[in-house]
Structures are given as structure tokens and as C-alpha cells.
Structure 1
């Protein structure tokens, strides 16, 4: 009877066979992974998934239909070539570049023949799941299909998404993700943080959002006003967790699910499994991620890595796009690498990484110390946080030398504190009441069950920015105080500066 009651409770509280349309338009395999790992789990649980992305599956999956927008790749490949040049630009220029890329994949994705055919169809959906990354025009898919919208952010709460839910983010302790700060900022850092927040907000409201508005009006001419579309999303799933990002305020409809994409490791290919097992002194794994192509490294930087690696007694697995001649015997090139499975292997001692968020999460989950070589976007913050947590050493990309790499490699491989700190962070990430993937699916189904869950919306969304900041109230208080002071001062002047009246004695008649 107890089992039956439990089953009925779970069954009644669940949503079965919901039709979900999801779009992850970013031409980056790491962004695709965020979507695919969530959606394939939803498909396994009986939901009917339609997935728009640049990476269609070669083998069809049950309950998961691909709509390919792979046609956008060539145009975005040209933009991606500039990424290594972003290492020395300011956070504001970095933000502008990402905005430029976002507009490109937003418009190209909506203009693709496959998406246009879907928009002209009579299909219906129960929910629209959208990766939010400089693509606000695509929020109009919710209005088009008359379904609630859930957003998934590939990064923690930031200047990019806080305004969508009126989420408080004071510059005093909520750092700008495009700046290399952590929450414990000095006075000068808080000043710079406020400057970055202000300038990015101005750019967002006067350039980024108007551009997205024009794209929306082009593809959804019958949509409501852009502002209505922009602030009408039901929920924001946030790729964050205190084990790797700072604890910050979150509204009721902002849910942290960081780490959900890390799945149980699959079986490694036989040759790679043998290589990792037979390495006598352990393995160093080196990857610059999916969006940064290693083949654009200069010959000088390649040589620095090769010479530093050649001094190690450990073996090195290097994810690289092209073959390299003259490698030392302890270095092996992989053009494709199952990163999660490699990091899960007990013989991996160190991860040399660009510090992308997914790589950072996987590093912490598996308790591997790192050498961080950040290049753009949030990578500088991720590495700064990793250093603060004590399991990483940063080597700036433009400062790479054989000597600096050699020092960092030897320090982490020979000092046990880095491994101990990595294991400590791993324990924090794994110690959760509910698995992040289950938490994510629960909240998606919650929005479906409650027809958009509008009861989670904050009244702050109905206020102007100056009203949320109480500036209008402060203005009234200030005006009242100054008025009272003025009246008091005026009254005192009248009292103390009044000329005394001279009285003359009347003569007796």
C-alpha cells in the first residue's frame, strides 16, 4: 500500500508526453552539450522533444527529433577565428564581440529554411526551452506557438540575464562575469566593477536589445511589443552552483542547476583506456575546448608547450585539431577527446584548460587540479575563482613561456595541496539533496503543470529601474528634508534679523 501511494504521488505530480520545442543556436559544441544532455534525459522520460541546433544526431533517438541549422556554421566560423585576439581586450569590448556573434547566430538560425518551415507549420508545443545567450529575438517563439518559455543560461547570473527577472545584482559584491574579479573585491575593483556594469547596461539597452528587437520584428511581424516578449519568460535555469560560482541573490523563478550536464562516464575507447591505465606516472590532459581551435596557436606558443611537456615524467594527452611533427615521446595528440570520461579516470593528475565553464564544472566534479589559460568571455573569472579555491594556477595566454608553463606544471604535480583543494570542491558539488538533472526537469515540468507559473513573477518587473532602486523615494525624502531645512533657516532668519521697533514716549497734555 505504501508503494502504491508513493507511485500515485509521483505519477500525479509528473508531466508525461509533453511536447517541448528547444533551440540552442550557438555554434559551439559545449553549448550544444548543455542542451543535448538535458533534452535526451527528458526524451527518455517520455517527453516529445524537437531540438533545433547546429549539431544533428547521426542516429535518431527515441522521442527526440532534430531540426538542423548546421547551415549557419560557415558564417560563424569566420567570427570564431577572432577569439584568440580577445585575450587583451577590455571586458566591455569582449561583451560587444559576444553581442555581435549572438546577433549573427540569432538571425541566421531564424532565417534557416528548416526553422522557417517549422514556423509555417501547424505544430503545437507545451513549452519552449531556449538557451539564452545574446538571442532575445528568439523569445518570440513562445508567442508564436502560444507556449510558456523557459530559458537556460550557459553561465551564472550576470548583466546578460538579471534584468529579465529583475534579479538584484549590486556591483558591491556581485561581480561582472566578464571581469577577472571574485565576490571579495577591493575598493578599486568595486569601482571598476560598477563601471563595467554601468557601461554594459548602457550598451545593452541602446545597442544590443534594439538590434534584437529589429530581428524579432523581421521574423515575427505579428508579435506583441518587444518589451512584453522580453520580460515574459516563466523561468531561468542557471548553470551555476556555489561549488564553482559565487553565492548571489536569485528570484524564485531563477533555479541553479550547475553540474547537470555531467553524466556518468561511458566506457572509454579501448586504445585510450589502455593508454591511461598503462601510464606509469600519470597523465596530464590538455584541451582548449570546443570553440577555441588549437591550430591557430602560433608556432612560438606551440613550441613553449612542447618543450615544457617534454620535461615531464608524466604522459600528456593533447586535444589538438591537427597533427604535429617532432613531438616528444610522452605527448599524444587526440583530435577528438571524450573529456568527461578522461577526467573521470583515476590516472589523470592535471588538466590544462582554457577555463570554459563546462570544463571548470567537470574539473571540479572529478576533483582534478588545473592550469588555467583564459582567453575570452567568463574564462578569466572562472580561472580567478579556481585560484581563489586553491586548486589552480593561471598562466595568461599572452604571457605563455616555457619557463612559466614548467613552473606551473611542476608546482601542481608536486604540491599535494592543489589536489586536496580540488577534492574539497568536488565534495561540495556532489553533496546535493537532488541531482541537478532531476531538479532541472522537475522545474520544466512545473512550468508546464502550472501553465507558465506566472505566480513566480516578481512585482519588481512592473517597476522602472529607478523605482526598484528606490531612487524616486529617495528623491522625495531628499526634497522634503531640504524643503524643511530651507523653511527652518528662513524662519530663523526672520526671527533673528527682525529690526526692533523704537517706541517714543507720549508727552503729557
Structure 2
């Protein structure tokens, strides 16, 4: 009898929590770092036994071996769009660094919306749309692609959004998450925390202008795409607030603590893998570096080879005078004037390199994945931020004491030498990054709790009980403008009544006094 009960319990548990689900993941952003996050999550779901369809602009060279199925749909037209945009209007690093914040917001909103459009009209996607296929959940990366979220409604599935960066205006509005501009900097800024008066002023203006730009330009365009490419396309307003869950690639050890509504979950660091064995040449290079190694990479979107000659020469003169060995991600075959202590490679296994104990400094663009990985492995940074969230990530690293920031425009041999020596010779940077790393690793559950929450949304039919009531309020009610208006109106009415009442009493008193004087005369 005892054995029968155990078997029944196992059956009930597996039938409820271990059933295979059909999952559609849409990660079309044309960036290797974005793809790494999406593919890591979708592969983990497939390994758990789910049937996964992954839509992206890159794809896998070889199908991953998993317990469930993993289907790749690659939209190559997205990368073609990127090439077209780069030929027409690719800004230089200096242009990006000095770009006005609102112009940068408009540029990203307009350009990325055009680049992501093929993900709806591509033949492979249209075949999927008209296939009558159903999914149990749709996971969409949040990256200026709101029309794609309508696919969740089309396939009759709950919608999960994954943010590759910290909480920001792109996701806060989707789930009614409060984000006061008084103390939370906008994503594209590099403002301090707490902000100065001028920073709060500009942050507030940027916040309002960004909202207006999205509501009057971006969302109408995305609404047009929904109607154009998806049969019986719903309205964008029904899409935007249809989010069951937001997975945040974030963690308090990395970011400023901010409010979260119940359906926002931190999973920062879920993509980090245990260190693997390095190729022999890299292993020997790192092992034999008695004075340590400086790792230098500008990420997957920016290229070190794009540094103009004057910046490149300043960097080379600085590196050549260091006793440390330098491992530099350089995207071309030759580096003119390459110093003897510098080893080049077009591609480097970044996580495995940062895990090596001889790595003393990471010179980085300040991308968020690089920030996560450097904190995970406890390596201080010298950040040269260019665009996007890089400036805010770099400022956060500086505020938390594990990095210094060198603006691109200020790169000279003297400044670069000074900042490198500051980080290498001052133990506070390594001590602070080790403390941050301890906080990062001190977790109740693994960041792959993302799988639990995805299955949770499936089990509970979209988990509407996590949805906050703010999403049901129009903006004027959310900000209590109707209440404030009522109170102002009541105050004015009471004020007017009081004014005229006092005026009438004063007149009566004055009239009586005049009457007395007339009688006396």
C-alpha cells in the first residue's frame, strides 16, 4: 500500500510540474550578447524536456542535444538590415559618445524598429503564423520590438518578456512598475545616485519626452505592423499590457536597488557557465604571465579595430610600457605597431579568461554581460563606455568602487596609463569587486530559477494573480490627477466662498460704522 501511495504521488507531481510544454522564444536582436542570453535560456528549457522553437537573427551552428526538442528559425534578413543601416548612417564612436540623450533615444527607437521588422514578414515566420500551431507560452526579448509581442495573443499563449538589462522604462510601463525619475536614472544616462538637482531635472524631462515619443511615434508604428503582418491583429494597447512575467537580467550586486512588482524576477548571471578548459595557446599565455594579464575587449558590437589611428596609437604606447601581458580582442589580422607583450585574437572565450587567477584588469566597453561576468569572477574594470546602457553600467561600477571610467574622448597615453596604474596598484578595486562577487554568489536559489517561473506561468494560465491593478488605470488616474484636480477645485470653491463671505461681513461692519458716524454728525 505504501508503494502505491508513493507511485501515485510521483505521478501527480510529474503530471503537474514535469509535463512537456511547447515554448516559442523570440530573440531577434542583431547582437551576439542578446543571442547568448536567449539561447542559454531556451536550451535550458529544452534540456528540461520542453519542446522549444527559437527565433533569432543568428542561430546555432549545430543543433544542441537536449531531452526535449530544439527548433531553430533564423531570420537572416535582420542582419542584412543591419548592414544597410550601417552603410547609410553608422555613427563613429565619438558620435555615439557625444550624442544628445533624446536624439539617441529617437535614433534607437526609429532604427531598431526598422531592423526588427523582418521578424514579422520573413517567409519562415509567416509560415509559422499560418501553421495553426499552438504554444503554451511565448517568450520575447524586450528590445524595441513591441509588435512581436502580438504573436503571443495570435498563438493563444501567455506572454513572458525578458529584459537583457536592468529595469527600465521599456519594461516598467508594461507591468505597472513604479520608477520615480527623482532617484532612478534613465537607461541611456550616466547619472550618479543620488542625482544632483540638474541631473534630476534632465532625468525628469527625458523620462517624459521618452514616454511621449513612444506613445505618439513608436507604438503607432508597431500597431501598423501588427495589423499588416498578423491575421486578425489586435490593437497595440491590448498587446503592451498583456505581460504575465518579466525576467530581469539583473541583480542587486550589479544594479541600484529599485522597486519590483510581483511579476518581475531577477535572473542576472543565468548565462554564466562553469569555466572550461582554455585552448592551449591561451592557457600557456595566461599561466606564464608572472606579472599578471590585462584582458581588453570592446564587446561584440563595438570593434577595437574601429579605433581611429590617434586613439589606437595612444593605447599601443601605453600597453607597450606595461610589465603585464595584454590579451586583446582585435578583429583584424594585423595590428600595426603591435607590442611584444600583446597577444591578439579575433574571438576570445571571455568567461573562461576572466576566471583565470592571473587576470588582474578588464578593459571593457561596459556592456552589461561583461559587467556581470567580471563581477562573477571578481575582476576590476577600466570602462570606456560608448553608447546604450554602457555609461550607466560604468558609472555604477565606479560608484560601487570596483572600476574607473575613462571617457572615449579623453583617451591619451597619459590618461590611460594613469587609470590603468590606479586600478592595478590600488587594492580597493580588487577588494570591492570581490565583495560584490560574494553578494552576487550569495543567493537562495540559482538564477536559473527562470525555468521555474516560466513553468509557473504555464501552470497557472498566465498567472493573472501577479498582475498589479495599476495596469487597469488610465494615466490620469494612476498619477491621481483626477483626485488632485478635485481637491484643487474644492479648495478654490471653499476659498472663493470664504473670500466673499469675509468680504460681505467686512462690508456690513464698515456700513454700520459709517451709519454711526453719520448719526453723530
Report the TM-score range of the alignment, normalised by the length of the smaller protein: over 0.9
Return the match for 2:407 from 388, 396, 416.
396
Unmatched runs of 5 consecutive residues or more in structure 2: 517-521
Q: What CA deviation, in whole Å up to 9, does each residue of 1:337-373 have, x standing for no partner?
A: 1111111111111000000111111111111000000
How far apart, in 1, do the equivalents of 2:279 and 2:424 lie?
26
- Give the aligned partner of residue 64 of structure 1: 70
How far apart, in 2, do the equivalents of 1:112 and 1:330 lie?
48
Kindly indicate whether the alpha-carbon contact (under 8 Å) linking 2:28 and 2:56 is maintained by their aligned counterparts in 1.
yes
Return the match for 2:421 from 404, 410, 414.
410
Kindly indicate whether the alpha-carbon contact (under 8 Å) linking 1:286 and 1:351 is maintained by their aligned counterparts in 2.
yes
Kindly indicate whether the alpha-carbon contact (under 8 Å) linking 2:219 and 2:236 is maintained by their aligned counterparts in 1.
no
- The residue correspondences of 1:168-183 to structure 2 (distance < 5 A) are 168-183=178-193
- Give the aligned partner of residue 117 of structure 1: 127
How far apart, in 1, do the equivalents of 2:6 and 2:280 lie?
44
The question of 1:378 aligning with 2:381 is answered no
Kindly indicate whether the alpha-carbon contact (under 8 Å) linking 1:25 and 1:105 is maintained by their aligned counterparts in 2.
no
- Give the aligned partner of residue 267 of structure 1: 277
The question of 1:419 aligning with 2:419 is answered no
How far apart, in 1, do the equivalents of 2:123 and 2:152 lie?
19
Q: What CA deviation, in whole Å up to 9, does each residue of 1:176-212 have, x standing for no partner?
A: 1111114311222111111111111111111111121
How far apart, in 2, do the equivalents of 1:94 and 1:283 lie?
35
Return the match for 1:198 from 198, 208, 230.
208
The DSSP-based 3-state class of the residue aligned with 2:131 is coil
The question of 1:16 aligning with 2:19 is answered yes
- Give the aligned partner of residue 158 of structure 1: 168
How far apart, in 1, do the equivalents of 2:40 and 2:409 lie?
34
The question of 1:82 aligning with 2:85 is answered no
Unmatched runs of 5 consecutive residues or more in structure 1: 504-509
The DSSP-based 3-state class of the residue aligned with 1:275 is helix
- Give the aligned partner of residue 440 of structure 2: 429
Post-superposition offset of 1:464:
1.2
**1:291/1:7 CA distance change after superposition, 3 Å:** farther
Kindly indicate whether the alpha-carbon contact (under 8 Å) linking 2:28 and 2:78 is maintained by their aligned counterparts in 1.
no
**1:502/1:329 CA distance change after superposition, 3 Å:** closer
* RMSD (Å) for aligned C-alpha atoms: 1.9
How far apart, in 2, do the equivalents of 1:160 and 1:405 lie?
35
How far apart, in 2, do the equivalents of 1:112 and 1:273 lie?
43
The question of 1:366 aligning with 2:377 is answered yes
Q: What CA deviation, in whole Å up to 9, does each residue of 1:436-473 have, x standing for no partner?
A: 11x11111111000111112111111111121111111
Post-superposition offset of 1:83:
5.9
**1:299/1:173 CA distance change after superposition, 3 Å:** same
The question of 1:331 aligning with 2:337 is answered no
Post-superposition offset of 1:54:
1.4
Kindly indicate whether the alpha-carbon contact (under 8 Å) linking 2:129 and 2:230 is maintained by their aligned counterparts in 1.
no
- Give the aligned partner of residue 481 of structure 2: 471
Return the match for 2:107 from 97, 111, 121.
97
The question of 1:26 aligning with 2:26 is answered no
Post-superposition offset of 1:392:
0.7
Kindly indicate whether the alpha-carbon contact (under 8 Å) linking 1:76 and 1:104 is maintained by their aligned counterparts in 2.
no
How far apart, in 1, do the equivalents of 2:379 and 2:83 lie?
31
How far apart, in 1, do the equivalents of 2:215 and 2:18 lie?
38
How far apart, in 1, do the equivalents of 2:279 and 2:246 lie?
37
- Give the aligned partner of residue 322 of structure 2: 312
Kindly indicate whether the alpha-carbon contact (under 8 Å) linking 1:245 and 1:385 is maintained by their aligned counterparts in 2.
yes
How far apart, in 1, do the equivalents of 2:219 and 2:494 lie?
43
The question of 1:490 aligning with 2:500 is answered yes
Kindly indicate whether the alpha-carbon contact (under 8 Å) linking 1:15 and 1:449 is maintained by their aligned counterparts in 2.
no
Kindly indicate whether the alpha-carbon contact (under 8 Å) linking 1:21 and 1:127 is maintained by their aligned counterparts in 2.
yes
Kindly indicate whether the alpha-carbon contact (under 8 Å) linking 1:289 and 1:353 is maintained by their aligned counterparts in 2.
yes
- Give the aligned partner of residue 452 of structure 2: 442
- Give the aligned partner of residue 350 of structure 1: 361
Kindly indicate whether the alpha-carbon contact (under 8 Å) linking 2:382 and 2:404 is maintained by their aligned counterparts in 1.
yes
Return the match for 1:283 from 271, 289, 293.
293
- Give the aligned partner of residue 519 of structure 2: none
The DSSP-based 3-state class of the residue aligned with 1:436 is coil
How far apart, in 2, do the equivalents of 1:77 and 1:163 lie?
32
